[in-house]
Structure formats: C-alpha cells, structure tokens
Amino acid sequence: MKQKRRFPSPRDLAPLMKFKAPELNAKKRRLDAALTIYDLRRLAQKRTPKAAFDYTEGAAEAEISLARARQAFEDIQFNPGILRDVSVVDTSSMVLGAPVALPFGIAPTGFTRMMQSEGEIAGASAAAAAGIPFSLSTMGTTAIEDVKAANPDGRNWFQLYMWKDRERSMALVDRAAAAGFDTLLVTVDVPVAGARLRDKRNGFSIPPQLTAGTVINAIPRPEWWINFLTTEPLAFASLDRWSGTVGELLDTMFDPTVTFDDLAWIKKQWPGKLVVKGVQNVEDAKKLASMGVDGITLSNHGGRQLDRAPIPFHLLPDVVREVGKDTEVHLDTGIMSGADIVAAVALGAKFTLIGRAYLYGLMAGGREGVDRAIGILAEQTTRTMRLLGVKSLEELEPGHVTQLQRLIPRS
C-alpha cells in the first residue's frame, strides 16, 4: 500500500530546530566527547610526545602480562538479578578504617610531571574532590609536602621503594608521616627494573633529551613543550636530579636484598596503615597476613616488571578465600572501566587502584582530564551496579561474576 505523505507543519518542525549551544572551550569540548578511558587514551596520544606517552603505555618485554591482565577483565560474564530497587546506588565504603566515596583510588605513578606538567597536583586535587585516596610514588615528581597541600583534608598514601640507602628511604617515610599521610604502600616486586623496551628504543631519559626525532615528534604537540619548558624544572619527591635512562635510575636505587625481615622492620617504623603492593601468589599473601599487615595489593606492576607474570584478577578469588577475613585485599593492573572495578569488588577486592587510566586523563587535559577519568569510571561503576541489581558495594558477591577460561594450566 502506498504511503501517504503531507507537508510538515511548523509545530512538527519546532522540536527539531532546537540546536545545542556550541561549547567554545576547546578542552572542555574535547573531554566531554570522551566517553571511555580508551577515548581519553586516544586524546592523550595525540597531545603527548611519543617517549612520554610510551613510558605510560608500555610494559615489560613483549608486554604479555599487561595484555593478559586486560583480557582477564574482558573474559567474564556478569550475572544480573532483576526486579530490584536500584533507584539509589551507594558506591562508598570503608577502606583501611576510613571512608572512600568510590571503590577505586589513584595508584602511585612515577615521573608524572613528565606526562603532563600539572602532574601529581592535578591527581591529588582531583582525588580530593572525588573523595578517593591519592598515592604518591617514591619516583613521583612532586614533593610530599606539596601533595599534602593539594589534598589537605583527603586521604594521601605514600608508596615506598626500599632503596639500597636505607636511611634515605626511611627519611621519606618520616616525611610522609609528618605530613599526615595515612597509609604506606610498600612495593615489593621491584628487586631490579623490568626490561621496558619502549623506553630503551625511545631513549627515554630524565630529563628528556632533545634529538632530531624528539623535535620532529614535538612539532604537532607544542602545548606539551611550552608547558614543560615554562613551568618549574622537573624535580622528584625523593631525589634532586638524575641524568640517564629510567631503567638505569631504578637499577641504581632499588635493593635486590630486601626480605620479609626488612618489611617487618619497616612496619615497626610506620605509625599508620601498611599495605604491601606487588603480591603475586597465595603463599606470600598468607605470610603477609600472618605478619599483621593491614592490606595487600594483588599487582604485577601493570605488567612493567616480570613479563608473563600471574594475572592479579585471576588470583583474587583464591587470595580472598585464604586471607580476606583478616586482611584487606586490593587489586590493580589492567583496570580500564568501571565494569572492571565492579567485577573485582564482586570477587572480593575491598579496593582497586587505577594507574594508566588516571594518566590518560592527565595527559588528555590536566586536572580537568583527571576529573573526567574519575567521572567516567564512577558513572560506569554506578551503571554496572544498577544493571546487576545491586544498590551497594556490600551486595556485590562472587555469584555476580563468572570468570571465563582462556588460559588453562596444563597438568
């Protein structure tokens, strides 16, 4: 039957003629258009020189550990409940004895002002606004006291690498305690630096060296260089200056002789909560729990140390089963969405940390970019919880997630 046609009336056209006012702020327009962390990643890559972007993006050797960690989050099935009242969803909880507004915080990242000139100040102030913890790395590029000033009333955590120079290491711990940092993250998976091949191929050094390649790569990224050259020279939370590659710096500083006895000694020195970061098997988790640490973070360092390392998300259920009643279990590595965070909490993680996801936001737009990254993850977390039929983190349980098998050990 032939369709009847008519001329549209002005009343029909009026709703279609309401145009959205253009956003004149280019940064806001850019960030508003980013709907996922991967969108922020694409913006970051366009705006950041290759060596700095690759330092964030890259992992060790063939980067298998990182790829497997991300794949593990994709290889799940959510099992939702229906006909629940999820009109109001609560994403807050108590972590290490104090409240957090969301089930994730900002992980410690090194050389952060190299990624974008606002660096840790952007991360700490964004964390304060969101009600989540901010972690400062030993290899951070902002002083402990300056991070405290940027996040005066929020939760600041300090991440410690134990150096060969023990007095220098503990001087940092004393400064963090004096500044009111409430948690010490002791990273234990770096006896030596991993083989980060992208950095070697890029000649990534501290400070960055100008070569013909870096100049050519900088031409379409003038804002990064203007910011880098017109702000305070790069300095570190833990050392004054260094001339050489990142790997050489790490190998000079890090101590391959650190043992459980050293950890016990550190625990006696620190007045706040202590979390051990870099745990990669059940037996080590049990030993740490028996020592009375407040938390452990299952992590393979974002794939940046041992390639083909265990997948933290796969370890999570077994570790929670063994130590979760006595010790908080946290998780990082591979998290790129709020759905990843919800899956981790459902399988027993008390808390998660985001590293690259935060840095992509920072590189994409400074403080506003970090706000956008946090906002994206918060929105995805809330939406995933609603779709699962839960209204609080406490209602998430292992039955909400099925881990699908891809890599099965051979007998």
Active-site residue numbers?
Answer: 301
**Is-cis flag, bond preceding 103, omega within 30?**
no
Cα distances (angstroms) measured from residue 127 to each of 25, 151, 203, 270: 23, 8, 32, 23
Measured distance between the N- and C-terminal CA atoms of the chain, rounded to whole angstroms: 67
Q: Which residues pair with 94 in a beta bridge?
A: 99
What is the DSSP secondary-structure string of 343-358? HHHHTT-SEEEESHHH
Q: Which residues pair with 353 in a beta bridge?
A: 105
Cα distances (angstroms) measured from residue 53 to each of 41, 59, 112, 318: 10, 12, 11, 35
At 99 the three-state DSSP class reads strand
Please, are residues 362 and 113 in contact by the beta-carbon 8 Å criterion? no
Please, are residues 377 and 354 in contact by the beta-carbon 8 Å criterion? yes
Rounded Cα–Cα distance for residues 196 and 193 (Å): 8
Rounded Cα–Cα distance for residues 69 and 310 (Å): 9
Q: Show the tokens assigned to 339.
A: 């759905």
CB atoms within 10 A of CB 114: 23
